[in-house]
C-alpha cells in the first residue's frame, strides 16, 4: 500500500514535443505529490508539487495532472527541450502520523535536439 508506481522507465522525445510521465499510488492517506528532477551527479531538486484538493497545477512548461478517484498523477512537460534531459521522480507523502516520502522508481527522459 505504500508503493508509488512510475512509468515509463525511460522516454525519448523530440525537441518541442510533450513529455508525459505517469505515477499511481494506493494509499489514500497520501496528501502531497511532488515531482523531482535529477541531473547526473546531482541531488534531486523539487520541480513542482500538488495537493489532492486541485486537479491540475501549472508552472511554466511543467504541469501536474491529478486524478484522485483513479489514484493517479502525471507530469507533462510542454515544448520539451534538450536541457530537460534528466531523471524525473514522482513521490507521495502523508502528514497523518508519519512524515515519510515514498518515491517512484524514476523516469530517464532524453530530449533529442
Partner 1 sequence: NAGVTQTPKFQVLKTGQSMTLQCAQDMNHEYMSWYRQDPGMGLRLIHYSVGAGITDQGEVPNGYNVSRSTTEDFPLRLLSAAPSQTSVYFCASSPTTSGYEQYFGPGTRLTVT
Q: Rule CB under 8 A: which residues touch partner 1?
A: 2, 6, 9, 32, 34, 36, 41-46, 49, 89, 93, 95, 98-106
The minimum distance between CB 73 and partner 1, in angstroms, equals 16
The minimum distance between CB 62 and partner 1, in angstroms, equals 16
Cell 502531497 belongs to residue: 32
Residue 6 is placed in which grid cell?
Answer: 512510475
The minimum distance between CB 7 and partner 1, in angstroms, equals 13
The minimum distance between CB 106 and partner 1, in angstroms, equals 5
Backbone angles phi, psi at 20, to 5 degrees: -130, 125
Q: Where in 15-85 does DSSP place strands (E)?
A: 19-25, 33-38, 45-50, 56-59, 62-67, 72-77
Residue 18 is placed in which grid cell?
Answer: 510533450
Nearer to partner 1, 11 or 49 (CB): 49
Nearer to partner 1, 25 or 89 (CB): 89
Nearer to partner 1, 2 or 55 (CB): 2
d(CA 32, CA 55): 12
Amino acid at each position: 500500500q505504500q508503493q508509488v508506481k512510475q512509468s515509463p522507465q525511460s522516454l525519448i522525445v523530440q525537441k518541442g514535443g510533450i513529455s508525459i510521465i505517469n505515477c499511481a499510488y494506493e494509499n489514500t492517506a497520501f496528501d502531497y505529490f511532488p515531482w523531482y528532477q535529477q541531473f547526473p551527479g546531482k541531488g534531486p531538486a523539487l520541480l513542482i508539487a500538488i495537493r489532492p484538493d486541485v486537479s491540475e497545477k501549472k508552472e511554466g512548461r511543467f504541469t501536474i495532472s491529478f486524478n484522485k478517484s483513479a489514484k493517479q498523477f502525471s507530469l507533462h512537460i510542454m515544448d520539451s527541450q534538450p536541457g530537460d534531459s534528466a531523471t524525473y521522480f514522482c513521490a507521495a507523502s502523508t502528514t497523518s502520523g508519519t512524515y515519510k516520502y515514498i518515491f517512484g522508481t524514476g523516469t530517464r527522459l532524453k530530449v533529442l535536439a
